[in-house]
Structure 1
Amino acid sequence: MNSQFSIPSIPETPQCSPNQLIQLASNLPDVTISIPSVDKILEAIEQGKADQVSKLDWVYCIHAKAQWDQQNLDRCRKTSVAIWKVAISNLWLQHQLLWRLALYYGDQQKQVLAQSLVESFDIFANSDLVSHLLPVQIIRTLYSRQAGRELAKIACEQPVNRTELLNTIREDLPVWIPLFSKFTEDITPYFTTIRSPNQQQVKWLLSCLDEMSDSQQIKAVNHLLTNVSNDIASNHSLLVDWLRNNYRNGEKWYKLSDPARQRLREWIGGINYADFQKLVNLILKKLDFPDFESKRLCSRRNFWASYSNRFERLRILLPTTSQIAIGYQIQGDVDLLEDDGSDPTEVCIFDFGEWFVVEFFRGRGSETRLFPKNSRNKQILFDESTLSVKRIRCLGGDKHDHEFLWQFFCRQWLANKGINPNPSTEPYTNPTANQLQQRENRLERWKREIEYLERQHRVYV
């Protein structure tokens, strides 16, 4: 039976005697092998021939410099300075040295670079030709006591978040060193050191927060809320809006500390109260009111200042005359109040968490109304594009006057619904019997007026 495959023949191994090998070697031409040495490279630098040093020689020099230094203690720093000066104009050498220096400081790999090269880095870093380079600035942070904050400062100045920073330096420095993964923790501690942050710095902070994990972000937001002043928050509605959208509702809210939650309430309220205050001030300035009407508006502004911590949200409705007079000087949720024949008035709708408060500024009635926060009331008061005075009054709700001593009784009325003023608010003085009688007389007239308006409005609607 024939085999299907044939076995190939293996050639015989040639037999060579040692004498033949010796004879063959004697006929080879002479070859000079150049072995690099630190001395040769340093000599080339001294002679101004550093450009003739090969990459292989530089690698050997960097590797062997620490051992060479031990045998040349008197020359170690001077020669390292000379190498750094060459690196200023030699981009390849510059990259090699900076990469190893980052490992030396950032990953604690002390063997990658001679101590003399480490200690003379400032000669290179202080040169006007390279001091502005991002890798140089970053390495300077690595040996700082607050390396994380210094790195956060650099990222802010660029401005780039952590991912963008790493993508920028990926080819220049080893991005796996621990500092680059940990400096996220120092972003909000750095931001809180900025006395008056500008809009760009706030946007940088929000970009950094957006890319954090939930646990990192909650820790950062806790620090932010308890270490940034209310003044900074009041100047940056963008920051407050981000916090409100991400933390005011949902499970993240309950992961914040109690002081952080309280501060966020204050920030949101402060921004919204500031819009309300600005509206009243503009109306007083732009519209010609009789004195009693101006005093009434001022008393509203001052009264609600005591509730600024409670302002979750604010909607402003303006009649045509006010909108023309004020123009676009009010920001936020501002709409035109539909003309339904009612007396001209501005209307503010406050979201106080569990309650909506509607404040009519002027005209007959000129009351405050309180509505429970449910989906129907939310849809009408905050989501409908067109609202009128009569439409709001026909929703019903509890109502309170603005007659004599109204502030004292309005505070009690709100407190009965769980709406309390800011903790530092001073109590009102109890009214006298004579004052109570005066109020009762005026209140009767107001009640008749409101009943008349409500009957009219029900017919209209």
Structure 2
Amino acid sequence: MNFQFSIPSLPETPQCSPNQLIQLASNLPDATISIPSVDKVLEAIEQGKADQVSKLDWVYCIHAKAQWDQQNIDRSRKTSAAIWKIAISNSWLQHQLLWRLALYYGDRQEQVLAQSLTESFDIFANSVSHLLPFQIIRALRSTQAGRELARIACEKRVNRTGLLNNIRDILPAYIPLFSQFIEDITPYFTTIRSPNHQQVEWLLVCLDEMSDSQQIKAVNHLLTNVSKNIATNHSLLVDWLRNNYRNGENWYKLSDPARQRLREWIGGINYTDFQTLVNLILNRLDLQYFESNRLCRRRDFWADYSNRFERLRILLPKTSQIAIGYQIQGDVDLLDDDGSDPTEVCLFDFGEWFVVEFFRGRGSETRLFPKNSRNEQILFGESILSVKRIRCLGGDKHDHEFLWQIFSRIWLANNGILPNPNAHSSRNPTADQLQQRENRLERWKREIERLEREARAYCNSSPLRSH
């Protein structure tokens, strides 16, 4: 296939004689070429004519100031201070200086700005110290730049991306420190003595932004450097850690001390909910003395196992729900009324076992169930439960009769549920005390057998319902 191209026509070259060009040049006005110099800019500043300095002159001045300083050492600081004073009201000059200053400190490009200009920055910054770019520059030149940037991000309630978006048009966002300071987020947070809710929310937003490796490192540092009191006061933080690190492969990426601390944090939050429930019952319900005393002993006993509480579900009879109101956080549901004695019920997840604690009424036992899918679905999944339906599940059971704490601890230990390392040890009972317990225990066993027969009859006539 043949292609043919047409050659475009070009305009004719104008015919000009040298004489015409000479005549044209003679008619042009005189032009003076202005060569930039530092002295020229400084002279304009001294004469109050800084507004007449061109952008080209400013760029040259900033670039050549370091060399000029070497030849004018005695005037270097004073003249640089004068330039910063002009920058207070000259936004374009501000941008030029701040951009280079950020590179000077943040990327260690010391050749981009004269040292006298870096040393005179405070003259400018003191007048605008509340503005973000100047706070960041001060952070960049500190010995702990990453920690200071994290502090600023926390005060502004922004993560790294948000911080960079706020300064993108003012400072160079590609400075290495701006990428690296994310590793200082958790170390900074651990220096806050009593973080508030907003600071915890900021931390979680920052954690979500991190890469997997950064987040693992941050969480390890967080778990091993923040006190349990802070975790207890911020269930939001513990919930995030539980959802992201308690199960799955992330759990095994944590160090052994971090895993142990996370267990303690989760347990502490759940035990606090249990403790709050007991205290509300004691304060709001009209209980007999023996009932109040029994509840206090339960609260104190389970305090020794607070590190082991993986999950907690609270079940309340209607009367308790009305009296207590909605002052309990966490997983709280109503017990179905099946005619049993009024009692609150707490379901504890201890990892390999579920523990069910009946607070009051006849029987008032503790039941132990292996953690399997069926028991988990019923105890932590079913919306509708009652005292009789729980007893129908069977399980191993333990009393709350005389000296029950000593024998409950042995019973739990035999099933691998151990108290906190710092828990108080039990005293050894005397022979008379053991005999007294045995007498009471026989009555309790007979009562439990009767209650279980009632429960089986009820469950056979009223199958377990769920939503």
Report the TM-score, using the length of structure 1 for normalisation. Answer: 0.95
CA offsets 1:268-303 (integer angstroms, 9 cap, x no match): 101110111111111111111111111111111111
Secondary structure of 1:451's match? helix
Q: Which residue of 2 aligns with 1:394?
A: 392
Map 1:35-114 to 2 at 5 A: 35-114=35-114
Question: 1:319/1:12 Cα in 2 relative to 1: closer, same or farther (>3 Å)?
Answer: closer
Map 1:281-296 to 2 at 5 A: 281-296=279-294
* Paired letter, 2:39: D
Pick from 363, 366, 370 the counterpart of residue 365 of structure 1.
Answer: 363
Q: Which residue of 2 aligns with 1:134?
A: 132
CA offsets 1:290-325 (integer angstroms, 9 cap, x no match): 111111111111110000000001011111111111
Question: 1:30/1:267 Cα in 2 relative to 1: closer, same or farther (>3 Å)?
Answer: same
Question: 1:290/1:111 Cα in 2 relative to 1: closer, same or farther (>3 Å)?
Answer: same
Whole-angstrom CA distance in 2 between matches of 1:12 and 1:333: 90
CA offsets 1:202-228 (integer angstroms, 9 cap, x no match): 000000001111110000000000000
Map 1:271-350 to 2 at 5 A: 271-350=269-348
1:145 aligns with 2:132: no
Whole-angstrom CA distance in 1 between matches of 2:194 and 2:266: 19
Secondary structure of 2:193's match? coil
Whole-angstrom CA distance in 1 between matches of 2:330 and 2:445: 34
Secondary structure of 2:73's match? coil
CA apart distance, 1:24:
7.0
* Paired letter, 1:287: L
Question: 1:9/1:126 Cα in 2 relative to 1: closer, same or farther (>3 Å)?
Answer: closer
Whole-angstrom CA distance in 2 between matches of 1:93 and 1:359: 72
Question: 1:15/1:293 Cα in 2 relative to 1: closer, same or farther (>3 Å)?
Answer: closer
Q: Which residue of 2 aligns with 1:198?
A: 196
CA apart distance, 1:36:
2.4
Map 1:411-422 to 2 at 5 A: 411-422=409-420
Secondary structure of 2:74's match? coil
Question: 1:119/1:390 Cα in 2 relative to 1: closer, same or farther (>3 Å)?
Answer: same
How many residues in Structure 1 have an aligned counterpart in Structure 2? 457
Whole-angstrom CA distance in 1 between matches of 2:175 and 2:110: 14
Whole-angstrom CA distance in 2 between matches of 1:320 and 1:20: 109
Q: Which residue of 2 aligns with 1:233?
A: 231
CA apart distance, 1:14:
9.5
Whole-angstrom CA distance in 2 between matches of 1:317 and 1:10: 94
CA RMSD of aligned residues (A): 2.0
1:220 aligns with 2:191: no
Whole-angstrom CA distance in 1 between matches of 2:230 and 2:271: 15
Q: Which residue of 1 aligns with 2:429?
A: 431
CA offsets 1:82-109 (integer angstroms, 9 cap, x no match): 1101111111111110000001111111
Question: 1:6/1:263 Cα in 2 relative to 1: closer, same or farther (>3 Å)?
Answer: closer
Q: Which residue of 2 aligns with 1:444?
A: 442
Question: 1:12/1:199 Cα in 2 relative to 1: closer, same or farther (>3 Å)?
Answer: closer
Pick from 246, 250, 253 the counterpart of residue 252 of structure 1.
Answer: 250
Secondary structure of 1:396's match? coil
Question: 1:371/1:46 Cα in 2 relative to 1: closer, same or farther (>3 Å)?
Answer: same
Secondary structure of 1:358's match? strand
Q: Which residue of 2 aligns with 1:158?
A: 156
CA apart distance, 1:110:
1.1
* Paired letter, 1:437: Q
Question: 1:259/1:12 Cα in 2 relative to 1: closer, same or farther (>3 Å)?
Answer: same
Q: What percentage of aligned pairs have identical amino acids?
A: 85
* Paired letter, 2:36: P
CA apart distance, 1:37:
2.0
Whole-angstrom CA distance in 2 between matches of 1:286 and 1:166: 52
CA offsets 1:53-92 (integer angstroms, 9 cap, x no match): 2222211211121122122222111111011011111111
Question: 1:81/1:379 Cα in 2 relative to 1: closer, same or farther (>3 Å)?
Answer: same
* Paired letter, 2:67: Q
* Paired letter, 1:377: N
Pick from 264, 267, 282 the counterpart of residue 266 of structure 1.
Answer: 264
Question: 1:448/1:215 Cα in 2 relative to 1: closer, same or farther (>3 Å)?
Answer: same
Whole-angstrom CA distance in 1 between matches of 2:9 and 2:455: 113
Whole-angstrom CA distance in 1 between matches of 2:159 and 2:122: 27
Whole-angstrom CA distance in 1 between matches of 2:322 and 2:355: 26
* Paired letter, 1:220: A
Whole-angstrom CA distance in 2 between matches of 1:405 and 1:5: 109
Q: Which residue of 1 aligns with 2:171?
A: 173
* Paired letter, 2:278: V
Q: Which residue of 2 aligns with 1:407?
A: 405
Whole-angstrom CA distance in 2 between matches of 1:358 and 1:83: 75
Secondary structure of 1:141's match? helix
Question: 1:388/1:78 Cα in 2 relative to 1: closer, same or farther (>3 Å)?
Answer: same
Whole-angstrom CA distance in 1 between matches of 2:357 and 2:7: 104
Whole-angstrom CA distance in 2 between matches of 1:267 and 1:450: 35
CA offsets 1:239-294 (integer angstroms, 9 cap, x no match): 11111111110110111011101111111101110111111111111111111111
CA offsets 1:338-387 (integer angstroms, 9 cap, x no match): 11100000000000001110000010000000111111111111111111
Question: 1:20/1:395 Cα in 2 relative to 1: closer, same or farther (>3 Å)?
Answer: same
Secondary structure of 1:100's match? helix
* Paired letter, 1:365: G
Question: 1:8/1:96 Cα in 2 relative to 1: closer, same or farther (>3 Å)?
Answer: closer
CA apart distance, 1:13:
8.8
* Paired letter, 1:249: N
Q: Which residue of 2 aligns with 1:356?
A: 354
Instruction: Please list every run of 5 or more consecutive structure 2 residues that lacks an aligned counterpart in the other structure.
Output: 460-467
CA apart distance, 1:42:
1.5
Whole-angstrom CA distance in 2 between matches of 1:145 and 1:108: 13
Whole-angstrom CA distance in 2 between matches of 1:8 and 1:353: 86
Report the TM-score, using the length of structure 2 for normalisation. Answer: 0.94
Q: Which residue of 1 aligns with 2:464?
A: none
